């Protein structure tokens, strides 16, 4: 069941999500944590870092895995999920995870990178908590519309909606055509899933994901079937629920 938590604004959404993450890792301190990239999770990541640095949770036995990456982009490129992880999570944290895996979109052998991502999740998983954002087409990570819900990590062509939105992340013009992502099977195996969304532009797709039919045309709708999933949204993104 997808539990819906409506928060007044972005800050409250971020704080609620960080609290929920901390709760999970206190329960399973040696588990596996995953955060998305994108604009949505920044406030949550900052709140998480602040609280871990303040000693509110111990991450020394915890493992971390990134959700997705643009194929072709290295982790130091502006707009890559790897750089988001480095700048907002690893660099400001005073403590280190026990082990971490950040997808290298520029790996010479992207198929080997995909296998390594699966192996890392296999080794330390299932995910203790998977935090996700939602794309304008309802994607989770790069599980684009039409994705096979049974897949583990995979490489997938970017959908036209994603291509239309993606330039906002980059400082120079870039045209990635594929994404590498954790699969829906791995996300659905997580003990807890937190889907974040803010802003009026997400209201339609949030309503389709939370209240519409469960269909791979709107991949986030699969979370309605997860036993412990939470949609944490601000009022603007909740306006069509």
Taking Cα atoms as reference points, which of 97, 105, 151 lies closest to residue 124?
Answer: 97
* Between 40 and 57, CB nearer to ligand GLP: 40
User: Does 63 participate in catalysis according to the annotation?
Assistant: no
Is residue 213 packed enough to be buried (19+ CB in 10 Å), middle (13-18) or exposed (0-12)? exposed
For ligand GLP, the binding residue among 13, 16, 59, 67 (CB under 6 A) is 67
For ligand GLP, the binding residue among 141, 176, 183, 219 (CB under 6 A) is 141
CB 235: neighbour CB atoms within 10 A? 15
Minimum gap (Å) between residue 88 Cβ and ligand GLP:
13
Say whether residue 68 binds ligand GLP (CB under 6 A). yes
User: Does 139 participate in catalysis according to the annotation?
Assistant: yes
Residues in contact with ligand GLP, total (CB under 6 A)? Answer: 12
Q: Which stretch binds ligand GLP (CB under 6 A): 18-26, 30-38, 105-113, 149-157?
A: 30-38
Looking at residue 191, the DSSP 8-state letter turns out to be S
For ligand GLP, the binding residue among 84, 101, 142, 230 (CB under 6 A) is 142
Say whether residue 82 binds ligand GLP (CB under 6 A). no
Q: Which stretch binds ligand GLP (CB under 6 A): 31-39, 107-115, 187-195, 207-215?
A: 31-39
Return left, alpha or beta for 146; rule: phi > 0 is left, psi -120 to 50 is alpha, else beta: left
Say whether residue 135 binds ligand GLP (CB under 6 A). yes
* Between 36 and 183, CB nearer to ligand GLP: 36
- 223-232 burial: b if 16+ Cβ within 10 Å, else e: bbebeebbbb
Taking Cα atoms as reference points, which of 33, 65, 38, 61 lies closest to residue 48?
Answer: 33
User: Does 144 participate in catalysis according to the annotation?
Assistant: yes
User: Does 137 participate in catalysis according to the annotation?
Assistant: yes
**Alpha-helix runs per DSSP H in 86-233:** 110-124, 160-165, 184-188, 203-211
Is the Cα torsion angle 97, 103, 108, 112 positive or negative in sign? positive
Catalytic residue (one of 63, 113, 139, 198): 139
Instruction: List residues binding ligand GLP (CB under 6 A).
Output: 36-40, 67-68, 133, 135, 141-142, 162
What are the catalytic residues? 68, 137, 139, 144
């Amino acid at each position: 069941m997808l539990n819906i938590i409506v928060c007044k604004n972005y800050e409250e959404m971020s704080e609620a999500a960080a609290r929920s993450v901390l709760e999970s890792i206190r329960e399973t301190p040696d588990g596996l944590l995953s955060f998305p990239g994108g604009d949505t999770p920044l406030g949550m990541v900052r709140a998480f870092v602040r609280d871990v640095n303040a000693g509110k949770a111990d991450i020394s036995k915890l493992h971390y895995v990134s959700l997705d990456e643009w194929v072709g982009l290295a982790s130091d490129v502006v707009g890559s999920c790897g750089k988001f992880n480095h700048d907002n999570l690893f660099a400001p944290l005073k403590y280190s995870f026990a082990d971490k895996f950040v997808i290298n979109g520029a790996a010479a052998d992207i198929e080997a990178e995909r296998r390594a991502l699966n192996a890392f999740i296999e080794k330390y998983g299932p995910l203790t908590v998977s935090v996700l954002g939602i794309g304008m087409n309802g994607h989770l990570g790069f599980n684009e519309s039409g994705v096979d819900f049974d897949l583990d990590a995979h490489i997938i062509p970017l959908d036209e909606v994603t291509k239309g939105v993606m330039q906002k992340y980059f400082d120079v013009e870039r045209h990635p055509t594929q994404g590498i992502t954790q699969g829906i099977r791995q996300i659905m195996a997580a003990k807890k899933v937190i889907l974040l969304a803010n802003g009026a532009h997400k209201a339609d797709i949030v309503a389709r994901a939370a209240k519409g039919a469960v269909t791979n045309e709107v991949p986030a709708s699969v979370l309605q079937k997860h036993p412990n999933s939470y949609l944490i949204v601000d009022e603007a993104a909740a306006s069509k629920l």
